[in-house]
Amino acid sequence: MGHHLTQSVIVLVEWIPREFEAWAKLVGAYNVVTDEIMDANLRPTAIEALKGIVREGYNGWTKPTDERLTIAYLGDLAEAGAYGRELVLAYARQTEWERSAERLKKIIDKVRAEAGRDLPPAIGPFAEE
């Protein structure tokens, strides 16, 4: 989606909490309510972790190695202080089909279930409330 809409304008009339916020920050959307450009402020280590997650999902996160490496990248993202479930999903949805994103959700939920909690939350723009 991101590549095809580079010079397009999208207006969201209703804001669904968390649903679009991560996406808006990733694409640098303008928020007319706050009169601010939204920004993800991701450090290079966080960007590399997100790229790694998407790279492992090239075939839809269907292989056991895809899952293991994705979990490792999720840990890297958390260490960078940029983990946020919606951030990961929004980034992945820029290049992956929704069906693939559903598999990624299952991996994230598996990490949460095995740890008994979510990964450490982000510090900054993707902090979970």
**How would you write the pLDDT of the chain (129 residues) with one tens digit per residue?**
445 556 667 676 665 666 688 888 888 888 888 899 988 889 999 999 999 999 998 888 989 999 999 999 999 998 888 888 889 999 998 887 788 888 999 999 888 888 776 666 554 444 444
The string of DSSP letters for 53-119 reads HHHHTTT-S-SHHHHHHHHHHHHHHHHTT---HHHHHHHHHTTS-HHHHHHHHHHHHHHHHHHTSPS
Range of the domain at 101: 44-115
pTM of the model: 0.77
- Are the CB atoms for 38 and 28 separated by under 8 Å? yes
Q: Is residue 80 part of a domain?
A: yes
How many domains are contained in the chain? 1
Q: Is residue 69 part of a domain?
A: yes
Q: Is residue 24 part of a domain?
A: no
Q: Is residue 19 part of a domain?
A: no
